[in-house]
Structures are given as structure tokens and as C-alpha cells.
Chain A
């Protein structure tokens, strides 16, 4: 990432907690870590699925738009996440907006950069699922939830987009920026007990 010019002046929503998140790391068999992945590019897409414009956008993305709740599709470093029956979030490290806007053309729909709307917290390690299960009403057991699944739900009292990226397991939590401080503190509090031996 280019940290020059105006990009060097940016502050991510949970940057002030970086030191605390490092200190909250738990190692070993019950390990779990929390980090922030700041400044991911997020694009909100609205388009009629099945229309020609949607097909053009899928070509521009290099992957089909997922058509069911929980599904994601990936192409390179781009991931399209299902938000609603005609709404998606495209996560990436590069700016895809011009290409997608051109693909949409004059068709009904929108391509909006919402990168500042949310930040990304990454929770990873053998205990990550147990940490989330303290406050997430969804069933996160591997038989129903696994890598490549992403759903909008709540963790504690905070609405997040919850995305599992691998089997470690690693989860990405995307809260609204103004909730990032609270959510990071909530997760660090939930991680605390895993530093001690398991109580049988």
C-alpha cells in the first residue's frame, strides 16, 4: 500500500487500539489473535441480478455475483459478498469503481465507494470460534459455516458483516467505523479467558 502523500495522513478507526490488541494475543493450543486490517476498498453494488448490466459487472469483476445469503465469490484479491437480493459488497485492495461503473453504464443500479463506512477486524486462532460464540446468535459450527461464507449479523450488540476466510479459523468482522472501538474492546474482553488453562 502506498503510504505517501495524503494516504500517510489516514487514521483507521481502531488504530489507537493496535497496542492493546497485540497485548491481548493468546498463544498456544487455545490461541487467538485480533488485528485490524485497515483501509480495504469496499464498493457497494446495486443492480438487478440476471440483467445484462449484472452480466457486464460480473465480467468486469472476473467472478459471478453470489446469489444466495452467505455466499461469496472471489477473483484475485477481489471478493464479492452477498448483502441482499440485489445488493453486494466488493472487498479488495485496489480501486475497482471506474471499471464497474463503466460496466453498469446507464442501467438502473449504483456503484458506490463505501470504504470509510466500515473497518475490518481479523480474529484468528483455534479459539476464534468460541470467542465469537459468546455473542453471535448464528450457528458457526463447521457443518453450516466455513471458509468463504459471509453473513450480516450481530456480535455482542454490534451489527457486523461476519466473513470466515480460512480453516484456522480466521474470521473478518466488518463493523461500522464508529462501532469499531467498542467491538474491538468487546472481543478483547471475550478473548481474555483463553489465556488461562481451560476449566474442566
Chain B
């Protein structure tokens, strides 16, 4: 069980949240100009790092807000959480 700190509600059990996949995936500025391959890369392809990974979570039974979590995929340690309008701590995406 992960203990995740919601930026608005504080620490709560993982069961109160929904997972939303990789964070910081920018929507293409001009989707109509993309090739099928580029569009497929945007829609389906995600990073799968071993180590710190920025991902989106939603506090479903609390404030119902989306936010970002920096989690270590090898140890499941929640390194930090931050709001959607804040940059990823430590830079890069």
C-alpha cells in the first residue's frame, strides 16, 4: 500500500486515488500535421524507466483533483507530489 500525499488533502492511502499514467506528455501543437507513426507515438508510447518516474494521480474519494507524483518504480517510494501547475522538481520530465 502506497501512502500518497495529496497536495490539497495531505497523506492518504493509495486506495483513495486513481492512477493516470505518465505525466508531462505534451499534446501535439498541430495534430493534423503528424504522420500516423508520430500520432501513434503520442497516443500509445510511454517511458518505462527504472527509477524516478513522474506520473499523474487523481484523488477520487477526496478533493477529486489531478496532481503529479514522482515515484521510484524500483522501490515504489513516493519521492514527492506536486500540483499540475508546478514544474517537475529537479528538472527534466
Contacts and interface: CB of A to CB of B under 8 A. Distances in A.
A153 B8 contact: no
Contacts of B62: 69, 151-153
A195 interface: no
Given A137-B15, A154-B16, A85 B8 contact: yes
A133 to B, nearest CB: 14
Contacts of B15: 137, 154
A3 B37 CA distance: 66
A85 B63 contact: yes
Contacts of B61: 152-154, 159
B58 to A, nearest CB: 12
B64 A137 contact: no
A69 B8 contact: yes
B40 interface: no
Interface string B40-73: 0000000000000000000011111100000000
Contacts of B74: none
B77 interface: no
A153 B12 contact: yes
Contacts of A152: 9, 61-63
B10 interface: yes
A192 interface: no
Contact of B10 (A69, A87, A137, A154): A69
A152 B59 CA distance: 10
Contacts of A84: 8, 63-65
20 contacts: A69-B8, A69-B10, A69-B63, A83-B63, A84-B8, A85-B8, A85-B63, A85-B65, A87-B63, A137-B12, A137-B13, A137-B15, A138-B12, A151-B62, A152-B61, A152-B63, A153-B12, A153-B16, A153-B61, A153-B62
Interface of A: 69, 83-85, 87, 137-138, 151-154, 159
